[in-house]
Amino acid sequence: MRHFLKETDFSYDEACEVFNLARELKADRYNTPSFLNRQSWGLLFYKSSTRTRVSFEVGINEMRGFPVVLNSQNTQIGRGESVEDTAKVLSRFLHGIIIRTFAHSIVESFASEGSIPVVNALTDFLHPCQIYSDFFTLIERWSPTDSFGPECLKGRKIAFLGDTACNMANSLILGSALFGVELALAGPDGFEPGKEIQGLVKAEGLNPTFNFSNDAHAAVKDADMVYTDVWVSMGMEDEAAQRIELMQPYCVTSDIMSAAKKDALFMHCLPAHPGQEVSEEVLKSPQSIVFDQAENRLHAQKAILGKLARLNLQR
């Protein structure tokens, strides 16, 4: 059974096919192939959601499937039923499941204990659907007219500022290694990339393409794109005051953006907190493509589900 728990669950060539499929689906949204014809797909949320829920629910409908939305607190999981038992039970009802949760081990357990494809819609460790959507958004901008695909990402520089140990930074580290992107990370000491993500890059047979420093301006220098994320993720509210104080030097301001290339883009996976991780001026500037990112969650995730459906049909 093929799953999508991390960026490298698709090979480079398979990822190319996903990006090209996303392009096709976006160009002709109202004639989407029936990849999930009459299939019921679960959407299991341990965390609240806007973009993830709506994009997946709409996408499954457009592929002629039936989304079944589940909140962990309104299921027996909330009363202590094990992940293992839940995975086995839901596998008897559903054709696939998409999970937004805390520990990465939860999606791994669903994949190992169940008998249906599992898609990671976010864990505290990785956010692969977001990264595929983001890279698809960049490929749209940077691909030559005669050659659409991730080749245009090779050698490009992305700067990520703030909490460089978060799931978005981890996914950028793994995705950048897969697609040959130079990744410059900048944040305070204590928030640098952890051993787990560094070990995963090596375990996947990839060469790390990132570096970490405390210098935001140096990280952004000559960057093609500047990225940031919230400083206080769900479940970290008790650390909010300390995190906000430590990360003030890494707020993406117009001054920070001026160190990047003149045509540099700004990205944020949203929701944003203007005045914290990014200034309102940058967030609303012509360089900001945050709403293109948000829209492309729909098209990229449809392509991911469509690719999984094809791969698992071939088994």
Q: Catalytic site residues?
A: 100, 127, 130, 229, 269, 297
Euclidean distance between the first and final Cα of the chain, in Å? Answer: 8
For tokens 């700004």, name the residue: 266
Closest CA to 261 of 156, 154, 153, 173: 156
Tokens of 274: 């203007």
**Which tokens belong to 187?**
């944040």
Name the pairing type of β-strands 157-161 and 182-186: parallel
Helical (H) or strand (E) element with 187 = none
Q: Are 291 and 313 in contact (CB under 8 A)?
A: no
d(CA 17, CA 211): 29
| CA–CA gap between residue 124 and residue 315 (Å, rounded) | 31
